[in-house]
A and B are shown apart, each in its own frame.
Chain A
Amino acid sequence: MATPILDIRGLSKTFPGGITAVNELSLTIEGGDIYGFIGKNGAGKTTTLRAAAGILRFDQGDILVGGISIKEDPVACKRKIAYIPDNPDLYDYLTGAQYLAYLADVFEVSAADRQARIAEYGEALDMADRLNDLIGSYSHGMKQKLAMMGGFLHAPRLFLMDEPFVGLDPEAVVRVRRIIRDFCQGGSAVFFSTHILEVAEKLCNKVAMIKEGKLIASGETAQVRGDQTLEDFFLEVMEHA
């Protein structure tokens, strides 16, 4: 059996003041998965994603990225990951091109690859013409698209996205969905949180639902929702779980 790209084992995180954001959460993501993470505000989605990205320390459990513990070798894990937060605070004083060049340097992307990928994703996300402008002049959606381009630049094995569709125009949503599908067909995986159940239902082959820090449902999207729509299933489990 192939090593999972992301293996979250019994993750728990309690913030100062005793509020438990995530409680013994376990989840496995395989290569090729498009995994949607669904829950209400404050359910623990962002905490889980931040812990998986190696940003947030956790109290219990472990997170393995490609079989490597993020606790033991965070740098090796981060080389395989790309992460974009829900509100991408990029460097407003850099141009889009400078930002991408910076990330390409950080991840040691070769000159040929960076050129090809910037051209490819710039075209796919309709950003090619704006890369020489300051990021400070971008709209929220454009910043989101630039952050995504930066994530795809080093061809990560796992792309963690926190609410990636917020602020995107309908055309961009379609484009991003297409890019994510192509990306995961190459054997990589995307794990993203979302409130848009329709997107999750159409895009994700797997979904997980979280409530008050606990995983209440996970698995193949079709199996999880059964004969209901994902929306109906979500409302039902949120009420009764």
Chain B
Amino acid sequence: MRSLRLLLYPQRVNLLRLNERKYTRDTREKRRLTWMLLAYAMVVLVLPMYGFFLAQGLYEAGAADAMVMYACALSAVLALVFSVVSGYNALFGRRDTDFVGALPFSQQAVALSRLIPMYLSALLSAALLMAPAIVFHLVVFGVTPGTVAVLVALVLLTPMLPTALGVLFSAAIAWISARFRHKSVLISVLGVLATGALVLSAQLLPMRATDMAGVRTLVEAVRQPLQAMYPPSAWADAALKPGGGVQLLWFALVNALPLGVAALALGRYYFALHDRVTIASRSKAGARSTAAPGTALRALVVKELRGLVGRPMYLMNSCVGMWLAPIMLFGLPLFLPDTQAMLAQEPGLLLLIKRLSPVLLSVFLSMWSTTAVAVSLEGAAAWLMCTCPVASETIYKSKLYAHLVPALPAVTLSVIAGMGLRWDVRFRRFTFKNDTEMVKQSVQVLLTMLTGTATLLVLGGLIYLSGAYATWVALGGAAALAMLSIVLFRPLKNKPLYLVD
């Protein structure tokens, strides 16, 4: 216990980055960490809210008996996601492995100190998501000590199987990451496919459930396949009914046993496994011949694009939506039978969609920009840009062009790219700890999204209101945006880049 307590200390003391916030002397950083606390609080609120809507929807549709089962299945999926992410970082991605490995702790204690936070993060996510369903269940079916005990057991047990699977998946990811040269591309492709699957299912399900009766039918239709895919959800369902003790036992066994096995295996082989998956054979191939000489701008654009592809977090957050959103917005709904029927009944609606589609498309595209963190993402390597004999203007251009390549050239996009660049130059920060912090938690990304969307909403509104003159307004708007992009870019020309304040 003493070993575990000590090994968990570094993780515990900086929970929610409180230790950093307390001791940093940088007031800007302190302020930023305070805002991040608020962001954490919002994330914590989102899960029970989602759980609440799920439980309430099922309750109102007369499917109250299915609330816990669905919450349990969703929690397991969520816990798996949390486990894979936290497992990769905790087990194979941490930089302190050598440091901890040289301390006088048993391998078992080190392994457990990595596994426990994984389980706890999965438990927290599962508990937050399941809490509303549990409250609804107790209100609807009554509070008895037996029911409460079963529900508590379900909450505690549900994240165990995902945690064990998280160990496996994170080991696989670490193994691939150490060996596969194009792992970032693979992660990006998998990310696009997963996002596509999620958006597609979100688009398909509500079409068949437009009222409460429909929801009830949908709940019943999904119940069987869900229970077949994830049998513990069936046992959770049965455990809450009279005589469900055996089912609860099965649920406990299927969840606790894999985690126990994972804990034992890690306790025995953690360091060996760590070395095995993270140390790859060194390439024996010599350096390939370099490409034909080109201009500095071309080299910079290529570097930007490689940086984009090489950072899945950056690519997924700044680019993928550019292709995914329009397809999901226009492509899928138009081909769904329900939508087609609706458009046949109201031909005016189709005309309106056609008229506004460039703007709607632009609105979607305006929510992403690679430039919003392109300057800051140079990070610790910013010295390279500082010392290379290239004008700041060329560097800015390379970042703009790199944005336009994946987004397809369009005048509206150049405005968004210009806005992103302006915001990032204004709020640039090279001291981030990882790409996620910059891409997900920077003020410049938020501002780019807001200003880009607002600009295009104004244009869309004008086109909508202009009736017969819509085409002229659209052309005029495009010209104005082109001017705006020049106005945004020109002052940057003479602004020195990468000088740290």
Query: Which A residues fall within an 8 A CB radius of B?
Result: 15-19, 50, 53-57, 74-76, 78-79, 81-83, 85, 88-95, 98, 102, 105-107, 132-134, 136-137
Contacts and interface: CB of A to CB of B under 8 A. Distances in A.
A16 B284 CA distance: 12
A17 B98 CA distance: 22
Contacts of A133: 23, 25
A81 B282 contact: no
A76 B104 CA distance: 7
Chain B residues touching A, range = 20 to 34
Interface string B12-54: 0110010110011110000000000000000000000000000
Question: Which 5 A-B pairs rank lowest in CB-CB distance, beginning with the nearest?
Answer: A17-B281, A89-B95, A55-B101, A78-B104, A83-B102
Contacts of A81: 102
B276 to A, nearest CB: 7
Interface in B98-132: 98-99, 101-107
A107 B104 CA distance: 8
B1 interface: no
23 contacts: A16-B280, A17-B281, A17-B284, A19-B282, A53-B102, A54-B102, A55-B98, A55-B101, A75-B105, A75-B106, A78-B102, A78-B104, A82-B102, A83-B98, A85-B98, A85-B99, A93-B14, A95-B23, A98-B13, A105-B9, A106-B6, A106-B105, A107-B104
A102 B280 contact: no
Interface in B358-382: none
Contact of B272 (A57, A94, A132): A57
A133 B101 CA distance: 26
B279 interface: yes
A92 B275 CA distance: 24
A84 to B, nearest CB: 9
Contacts, number: 90
B98 A134 contact: no
B330 to A, nearest CB: 46
B94 to A, nearest CB: 9
The CB with the most chain B CB atoms within 10 A, among A54, A76, A93, is that of: A93
Given A17-B284, A78-B102, A94-B13, 13 more contacts: A15-B279, A19-B282, A78-B104, A78-B105, A89-B96, A91-B96, A93-B17, A94-B10, A98-B13, A102-B9, A106-B6, A132-B23, A137-B26
Contact of A75 (B25, B104, B279, B433): B104
Contact of A137 (B25, B96, B102, B272): B25
Nearest to A85: B98
A90 B107 CA distance: 20
Contacts of B105: 75, 78, 106
Contacts of A16: 276, 279-281
Contacts of B282: 15, 17, 19
Nearest to A160: B102
A79 B23 contact: no
B20 A55 contact: no
Most chain A CB within 10 A, of B24, B26, B96, is at B24
Contacts of A15: 279, 281-282
B59 interface: no
Q: Which of B9, B95, B98, B101 lies at the interface centre, i.e. has the most chain A CB atoms within 10 A of its CB?
A: B98
B271 interface: yes
Contacts of B19: 93-95, 98
Given A95-B23, A98-B13, A79 B104 contact: yes
A106 B102 CA distance: 11
Nearest to A88: B99
Contact of B104 (A95, A106, A132): A106
Given A16-B281, A89-B96, A133-B23, A94 B102 contact: no
B2 to A, nearest CB: 9
Given A19-B282, A133-B23, A56 B9 contact: no
